[in-house]
Structures are given as structure tokens and as C-alpha cells.
Structure 1
Amino acid sequence: MPALLLAGPPAEPLSLAEAKTYLRVDHDAEDALIASLITAARATVEALTRRVLIDQSWRLVRDTWPVSGLIAVPVNPLREIVAAHVVDAAGAEIEVSLAAFTANIARLPGLIRVDRAAVPAPGRAVAGIAIDVIAGHGPEVDHVPSSLIEAVRLVLAHFYEHRDVPGPGAAFPASLDALVAPFRVTRL
């Protein structure tokens, strides 16, 4: 089941000023580079942990409703379901009531229970169902576990220091694994 990013985080886990202080950069010549490295570092930590750090909007796309009535959410931690619709045979979107869904936000990966009797069947065989969710630790940096913020700092420093080094010399430091291991979401 594909998950499509609708809206990224409203902010990065590190500000440009925090990143420059951590990198011990006292000039403005590389601000654009450092800003892009912050985003890349966050995305790397998210990929390593299979977690979204700061709240983001995602769309889960399905062909059919699951027979079991359970949908494992590929973006975590799941915070809430915000909208759902099916596409009918004519291509029109039909809104599905959120009362037909129950979000289990206490487990990782998140799980959505669908009341199959309360949802219409899609009229299109491919990508006929869309469920919009919010995933992340919260809307602000303060909600992100400090170990994950430190992992972003570590990756940022690694990217900054090794931007010209290809191959095995550019491997992440071993301490990164220790920071992210407790937060990895296992696949079902």
C-alpha cells in the first residue's frame, strides 16, 4: 500500500542557527547547504527508524478494503485519521465517514480498523480508496524524543564533513545505530 506525502513538517528538528552552532560554522556562506543537509538528515533518521519525527500529512492509497478489516499504517507513529474517500466508477470522489474507522495509535506500526459494513466499495479497481492521516511525534520539535534529535545532529555533521567522500569511507558512525535502535518500527 503506497503512502503519499501530502504535507511535510512545518519545521525541521533543528533550526539553521542550531545546526551552525553544532557544526561550529560562524559564517553565512554555506547557509543554503546546511539548510538542505538538515532536511536530508531528518529524512535519513526517518528512513532508519521508519518514523516521522514532526507531524506530516500522508495519504494511504488502496485498491480494496482489507478482508480482515485491518490496515497496517506504513508511516508512524500514527496520530489521527483526518479524511477518507473512495472513487466511484465515474471517477467522482465519495467522502467516507470517519466513524467507519478506529485508529490504534498506541501500537507501532499504527493500525486502522475499518468497519466494512459502513464503507462503500470503490468503483475503480486500482487506487480507489484514499485515507488521509497525520503521522509524527507531534506538531513541534519539543515532542520529538531527544535521542532522535541527537541522531539528526549526528547525521547532519556526518553529511557536512563527508560531502566529498564516496564509498565506505562515508559510512555513518556506529553511535548512530545506538541512538536510533530503540525507535525502529519493525515491519509486519
Structure 2
Amino acid sequence: MWYPAFTTGAPTGEVVDLESAKLFLRVDGDDEDSFIAGAIAAAIQHVESYTGTRLLEQTVELRAGAFADLNHLPIGPIRSISAITYLDFQGVAQTMAPERYSLCGAGLERGIRPAFAVTWPSTWRVADALTVTAIVGYGEAEIPAPVKQAILLLLGDYYTNRQDTVIARGGSPAPMPNGVETLLANFRLFG
């Protein structure tokens, strides 16, 4: 079982900059810059949550209970694995040598497997015995165009429907604007 990813190295760069957002929204002037910047951040967070990805390159820690959990990593896109630490059968923290494992899979569906002729060590029986430190996300220039467009569509919806977007009548979340789910379909991590 995986716990939610914890960001240890914050991303740098911008997925959608303020100027591009204002151009998309057809906004002149600076009066609403603060609102638009907040709406950009909310749209990015919404897309990351919906897709199970991180858009900008950053370092995260992933925690799990067993080496079997490494077959499928719960976040993407994985750029590299920086470290795997675990609590051995005596409860002592150990760091696994990089030559003892490898990243497998492609695209968003990635996992970690033991190297040839290597078996995973025994771990302490606790829910967070493993910690994987990984570099995830796209480079600023690599963010797929459909993902950026989905963020802009969400931003447009947030801008136009300020009060109705987050919670619809009856207390349930409002649906995403037309096209957003379709734009994100190929960039969503399942599992």
C-alpha cells in the first residue's frame, strides 16, 4: 500500500505563466492578476490530482509497506530513482545500493524491480517500511500540449464561474468543463 507522495524538492518553472493565462482569458490590465495566479495554481493542482502526476520536475518521497508495492509506482512521470531506503527485519534503516534494482516500464506506468539474480531483502513489518526517493514530473518545455490546454480550460471555467465551479448545488463537486477529461485521458495514471 502506498501513502501519498510527499514533495521534498519543490518544482521550479511554470506550467502556465500569468501572461499566457491572461491572453487566453482575454484580460487586459493587472487588476485581477492575484485572482488569476490563484486560479492557475488551483487548476494545476486539480490536473495533478486527477491524473496522478506531477507536472513540473520535483523530488518526492513515496512510502510503502513491502517491496511488492514497487511493482507499480503510484505517481508519474518518473524520471529517476534517487534512493530506496527500508527498515530491515531488525528495524534498522538500510539504503539499497542502486545496482540492486532498476526502473522498469514506460510512460506513466513505471515500477522498480530487483536486478538480475537479486532478491528483495526482508523488511520490518510496519506499514511504511520502504521509502523511495524519486525525481518526477516533466521538464518545463516537455509538458504535453493537451495537459496545458486542459489547465487553460479549467482556468477559463474558474474565471467565468467563480462561485459555482468548486461546489455545485447539492454540495457535490461540479463536473469538469467540456473537453478537460478527454484532453487528460492519455496522461492519467491508473492503479
Q: TM-score range by the shorter chain?
A: 0.7 to 0.9
Q: CA, structure 1 residues 102+39, in 2 after alignment: closer, same or farther (shift >3 Å)?
A: same
Runs (4+) off by over 6 Å: none
Paired with 2:176 and 2:126, the residues of 1 have a C-alpha distance of 43
1:85–1:15 Cα change, 3 Å: same
Q: Contact 1:122–1:128 at 8 Å: present in 2 too? A: yes
> Which residue number corresponds to residue 85 of structure 2?
85
Report the secondary structure of 1:85's partner residue: strand
Between the aligned partners of 1:155 and 1:177, the Cα distance in structure 2 is 11
2:6 paired residue number: 4
Would you say 1:44 and 2:43 are equivalent positions?
Answer: no
Give yes or no for the alignment of 1:154 onto 2:153. yes
Aligned residues: 183
Superposed CA RMSD:
2.6
Are 1:176 and 2:177 counterparts? no
Identity %: 29
SS at match of 1:81: strand
Using the alignment, how far apart are the partners of 1:22 and 1:145 within structure 2? 17
Q: Which whole-Å deviations, capped at 9, do the CAs of 1:37-87 have from their partners, x for residues lacking one?
A: 111111212222223222222212122222xx8521100122110112123
SS of corresponding position for 2:131: strand
Q: Which runs of 5+ in 2 are unaligned?
A: none
TM-score, scaled to structure 1: 0.82
Give the equivalent residue in structure 1 for 2:97: 97
User: 3-state SS of the aligned residue for 1:75?
Assistant: coil
Superimposed CA distance per residue, residues 82-135 of structure 1 (whole angstroms, 9 cap, x where no aligned partner): 112123588764322111221025143211113594654444623121111112
Secondary structure (helix, strand or coil) at the match of 1:59 reads strand
In the alignment, structure 1 segments of 5+ residues that lack a partner are none
Aligned to 1:131: 132
Distance in 1 (CA, whole Å) between partners of 2:127 and 2:151 is 37
Q: Quote the residue 2:142 is aligned against.
A: 143
CA 1:114/1:4 → structure 2, altered by over 3 Å: closer, same or farther? farther
Greater mean alpha carbon deviation, residues 169-178 or residues 30-39: 169-178
Matches of residues 32-71 of structure 1 in structure 2 within 5 Å? 32-66=34-68, 70-71=70-71
Alpha-carbon spacing, 1:36–1:7, altered in 2? closer, same or farther (3 Å): farther
Q: Which amino acid aligns with 1:14?
A: V
Partner of residue 24, structure 1: 26
Distance 2:189 2:145 in 1: 17
Provide closer, same or farther for how the CA distance between residues 108 and 170 of structure 1 changes in structure 2, counting only shifts above 3 A: closer
**Offset of residue 18 of structure 1:** 1.4
